[in-house]
Chain A
């Protein structure tokens, strides 16, 4: 599926003293199988934008076209759309409501009209994939720790097998291992099943490591829409918008300022490590060059 957003603007509480234009003339196309990172300062409009992707919010101006069809059109089935575009909300507690975790995770697939066995199989698989074992099935979702709630909320969306997964800060509050597991899972779903991923995140490192395309929102407008290595090398400009570059970008810039000959477009830890090793082992470079057995490391 392809989602095309055309000149979308959204205003909260129009015509009241609390009127707030949260999105201002946004146009973008999300193609099938993309892995997009959506970043922006707090209050920039990320959550407002992603709620348009499954029709939870409708544009004040402009349109959202799913495979060419306007979701605000008469007779358009938002119900069907919500099965195809799964959204994990920023605050998971708003997504959990059943009396136990298994029921909660089963809610989506059950509504899709699947058989009981299928629902159970889907729910269990989804729980397993976010690291919740059987012992959690009968636990109340409200009596879980913060990170456990987040896992349950993600499982509930995964269990619906959507064609597009939109995750609003899915790893906030997760322990580092859980965060890596969830992001790896998203990458796997994206690569193996060609599911489109839209990841909203305040972690520039996560976006640099996982996304193929980064969209930067500033005050309700798109500022940049490009590859991570292009967006994240604009360190000063990013900082002016309340963001920053991934940490390794600062290191590479620092080294470059110190006279190192290296390519700053490496934005992940592994790429940066390779760049540093390469710079150190080029023979005859600068003051007496580096390592003799250059070129042996990849």
Chain B
């Protein structure tokens, strides 16, 4: 076993310094508290956790925007604390942040997407090929000549994702990339992420509050107050309904509905995560004669 690791973090801790009115350091805010994180090349990892649990802080460590004040973190083999490697680290792990407004700089969509590859020294003809591919992947090719500040929130976010895709990093870290998208945009982005992962073998780290988006991940990590408190595949994690609620999370809608139906006595199998699975299980129940269908009412 043991495929090549792209991310190896052990005992990561990080504290923000909080300043008082006069700008003097006044207190420390713990954001990461002993996080171990091992990601193999090509994996799709999802990270869940309550507001303030440390997800974005962890993401900022993966491209060396922050460096740990305890523990070690290697990205693609580079120690993020060693600032001679910042460039390699950034090139290995591309980031898509929560708010697209802070990421778009150029005055024309296509230029913005070409900015990353240009900085990396990609030859001009290749840049435009990459820009076209990336914009088509996120469904924004039509708007290539538009000015980003005329776009709505959702449209901007798709451009930001294209900008990262165009850099072809080994690993993409997405911090709530769909939070501002409409259902079609959301589906499209998640499909794009899965394609990048399955076809291009890009390592994906997806931070989200949307439980449905994590069901295709190889592994889900759940954070709580700076620690990783749960880790497993979707079936394992989402079978722990009450624990998740306690951690301020939930389960995907199909799993929730299945759970409610079970509470009412229907004997449905464990591990239902999609509406298709639930429909099949219910149809099975209906067909197989009903004696065993309902345990008690």
List chain A positions with a Cβ less than 8 A from chain B. 12, 18, 20, 40-43, 47, 90-91, 93, 99, 139-140, 143-148, 151, 169, 172-180, 202, 204-205, 239, 242-244, 246-248, 250-251, 254-255, 258, 260, 269-270, 272-273, 276-277, 280-281, 286-291, 293, 296-297
Which residues of A sit under 8 angstroms from B253, Cβ to Cβ? 205, 246-248, 269
CA distance A243 to B155 in the complex (A): 15
Contact of A91 (CB < 8 Å), options: B21, B101, B183, B245:
B101
Task: Determine if B290 and A291 form an interchain contact, defined as CB atoms under 8 angstroms apart.
Answer: yes
Tally of contacts, chain A with chain B, CB under 8 A: 169
Which residues of A sit under 8 angstroms from B293, Cβ to Cβ? 280, 290-291
A13 to chain B, nearest CB (A): 8
Task: Determine if B186 and A202 form an interchain contact, defined as CB atoms under 8 angstroms apart.
Answer: yes
Task: Determine if A287 and B287 form an interchain contact, defined as CB atoms under 8 angstroms apart.
Answer: yes
CA distance A293 to B249 in the complex (A): 35
CA distance A236 to B266 in the complex (A): 30
Which residues of A sit under 8 angstroms from B101, Cβ to Cβ? 91
Q: Which of B56, B245, B264 gathers the greatest number of chain A CB atoms within 10 Å?
A: B264
Which residues of B sit under 8 angstroms from A145, Cβ to Cβ? 51-52, 56
Binary flags per residue of B258-287, CB closer than 8 Å to A gives 1, else 0: 001100101000000001101100110111
A259 to chain B, nearest CB (A): 9
Which residues of A sit under 8 angstroms from B212, Cβ to Cβ? 247
Which residues of B sit under 8 angstroms from A144, Cβ to Cβ? 52
B292 to chain A, nearest CB (A): 10
B273 to chain A, nearest CB (A): 12
Task: Determine if B279 and A18 form an interchain contact, defined as CB atoms under 8 angstroms apart.
Answer: no
In this assembly, does B18 line the interface, its C-beta being within 8 Å of a C-beta of chain A?
A: yes
Binary flags per residue of B136-166, CB closer than 8 Å to A gives 1, else 0: 0000000000010011111100000000000
In this assembly, does B209 line the interface, its C-beta being within 8 Å of a C-beta of chain A?
A: yes
Which residues of A sit under 8 angstroms from B179, Cβ to Cβ? 172-173
Task: Determine if B147 and A18 form an interchain contact, defined as CB atoms under 8 angstroms apart.
Answer: yes
Task: Determine if A41 and B184 form an interchain contact, defined as CB atoms under 8 angstroms apart.
Answer: yes
Contact of B257 (CB < 8 Å), options: A47, A179, A251:
A251
Which residues of B sit under 8 angstroms from A41, Cβ to Cβ? 154, 182, 184-185
In this assembly, does B256 line the interface, its C-beta being within 8 Å of a C-beta of chain A?
A: yes
Contacts A151-B51, A202-B181; A251 near B286 (Cβ below 8 A): no
Contact of A42 (CB < 8 Å), options: B49, B153, B287:
B153
Task: Determine if A42 and B181 form an interchain contact, defined as CB atoms under 8 angstroms apart.
Answer: yes
Given contacts A280-B266, A293-B294, 19 further A-B contacts (CB under 8 A): A42-B152, A47-B152, A143-B16, A173-B98, A173-B209, A176-B248, A202-B186, A242-B183, A242-B184, A244-B183, A247-B254, A251-B257, A272-B257, A273-B257, A273-B261, A280-B290, A288-B290, A289-B290, A290-B294
Which residues of A sit under 8 angstroms from B108, Cβ to Cβ? none
A224 to chain B, nearest CB (A): 15
Q: Which of B256, B285, B293, B294 gathers the greatest number of chain A CB atoms within 10 Å?
A: B294
Contacts A43-B155, A146-B51, A176-B211; A255 near B279 (Cβ below 8 A): yes
Which residue of chain A has its CB nearest to the CB of B283? Answer: A258
